[in-house]
Chain A
Amino acid sequence: EAGVTQFPSHSVIEKGQTVTLRCDPISGHDNLYWYRRVMGKEIKFLLHFVKESKQDESGMPNNRFLAERTGGTYSTLKVQPAELEDSGVYFCASSQSPGGLQYFGPGTRLTVT
């Protein structure tokens, strides 16, 4: 069974540009989560999808971040326009049930210059 996959593994963009990160959860997992770790700090929750619906988006930092999960399969996280403080590692995780075991992808390292 394939695990959670994320693309790209690394992205380098200039301040003001747009970047879209993609996450493919484990097949059959309705719950998909986004987290990020910036500046070597704690890994912080961003949002939680149940199928295509946003269950909890309390961790989204501002309106420059837009997450979608059309069709309830893969998800995208768009940052527009990117700022320097957005640099970090963005992780995606999925679980079968809300509150169930969360399996993480390898992360996307975003560098904004």
Chain B
Amino acid sequence: GEDVEQSLFLSVREGDSSVINCTYTDSSSTYLYWYKQEPGAGLQLLTYIFSNMDMKQDQRLTVLLNKKDKHLSLRIADTQTGDSAIYFCAESIGKLIFGTGTRLQVFP
């Protein structure tokens, strides 16, 4: 079946790296996405990776994809208080299948 799982909470100190993990089930996914939702705001497309890639780096963001284990991670380097938000992992099988979201809290 279609299922995407994430841990619910992550708390990190400002300046440290954050790693948010996600597992998915559908091996036919074309894209895998990370969306960010700040309080009171909509879903912001943060980054994405094609299913035939292993890694994608975009400034402070690094996405790693392990297709064998169906595991996706998002690493945020030098985490800032402005990174506090809910991060959603999603797999694309035409429609998007979302995880529950990981609430990232950054403390000074």
Contact = CB atoms under 8 A, between A and B. Distances in A.
Contact of B48 (A56, A98, A101): A101
B94 A98 contact: yes
Interface in A1-46: 33, 35, 41-45
Given A43-B88, A101-B48, A102-B92, A91 B42 contact: yes
Contacts of A105: 42
Contacts of B42: 91, 104-107
A104 B22 CA distance: 21
B92 A45 contact: no
A99 B30 contact: yes
Interface in B70-107: 88, 90, 92-101
Contacts of B41: 106
Instruction: Describe B's contact surface by its main secondary structure.
Output: strand
Interface bin, chain B: 20 to 34
Contact of B94 (A42, A99, A101, A106): A99
B43 A45 contact: no
A81 interface: no
A44 B96 CA distance: 8
A105 B93 CA distance: 20
Contacts of B94: 48, 56, 98-99
Interface in A59-113: 59, 91, 93, 98-99, 101-107
B103 to A, nearest CB: 11
A42 B98 contact: yes
A59 B95 contact: yes
Interface of A: 33, 35, 41-45, 48, 56, 59, 91, 93, 98-99, 101-107
18 contacts: A33-B95, A35-B96, A35-B98, A42-B4, A43-B90, A43-B96, A43-B98, A44-B98, A45-B95, A59-B95, A91-B43, A93-B96, A98-B94, A99-B31, A101-B48, A102-B92, A102-B96, A104-B45
Q: Which 6 A-B pairs have the closest CB atoms?
A: A106-B42, A104-B43, A43-B98, A45-B95, A107-B42, A99-B30
